[in-house]
Amino acid sequence: MITLNAVTKHYNEGRPNEVQALRGIDLSIAKNEITVLKGPSGSGKTTLLSIIGCMARPTSGRVFLNGEAVSGLPERFQTELRRTSFGFVFQRFNLIRGLSVLENVMLPAAPLGEPNTQVRARAMERLASLDLGDKALMPVEHLSGGETQRAAIARALINDAPILIADEPTANLDTALADRFLGLLGQLRAEGRTIVMTSHDPRIWAAEAVDTVIEMRDGQLAGAQS
């Protein structure tokens, strides 16, 4: 479903402070599976995740989605691809202060033109599944760290995109909520979705729902474990 061929990513290219974040990545990610990228800070996990999700372009190499090259598409086409094919859970949440939890969750659906009542009902369903139904009308800045993370997860699921991209999605969740999140991922996979995420959490690496764990070191793949 997602294929990377000889992908590199350099920051500050040609300058004294140039950083080679990714070094010749060849990777295939199967459809309808949960894949986890692990490795120490600076190993390139988040950079690789951003390229998989079309949030960044590789310096060289190509990315394919369902057999079609997407890494070289014009920005307006990549924007549409991000909106319809991917749901994102960012490490720093990126929720909008001043809006309610419900409004934040509904926001990614606005450009798609779906009736507001349908989007609202789906958002409430997602929030309830993450124990946030009673916080739906609360300003998002009043949430705790774990609640904010769960709101970000609900927002990522609002458009029912076929691919979920998540950067450390359980970093602020306790064991019970992490287990619930893994259960939710299992449900999403059963619905036909593909999940790609980074994690430092051994609970995630060892979870029964996870199909493949890929280790990264110094911008390269160090091995995969199924």
Domain count along the chain: 1
Q: What is the pLDDT of residues 184-214, one digit of tens each?
A: 888 888 888 999 999 988 989 999 889 999 9
More confident site: 181 or 224:
181
Contact partners, residue 100, CB within 8 Å, separation at least 6: 136, 137, 138, 139, 140
Q: How far apart are CA 106 and CA 123, in angstroms?
A: 6
Contact partners, residue 117, CB within 8 Å, separation at least 6: none
Confidence of residue 178 (pLDDT cuts 50, 70, 90): confident
Q: Using the 8-state DSSP alphabet, how is residue 207 labeled?
A: -
Range of the domain at 189: 2-225
With residue 125 as reference, give the H or E element that holds it.
Answer: helix 116-129
More confident site: 17 or 86:
86
pLDDT score of 226 more than 80: no
pLDDT at 224: 67
Query: Could you tell me the CATH number of the domain that includes residue 65?
Result: 3.40.50.300
Query: 0.75 cut: is pTM over it?
Result: yes
pLDDT score of 160 more than 80: yes
Confidence of residue 225 (pLDDT cuts 50, 70, 90): low
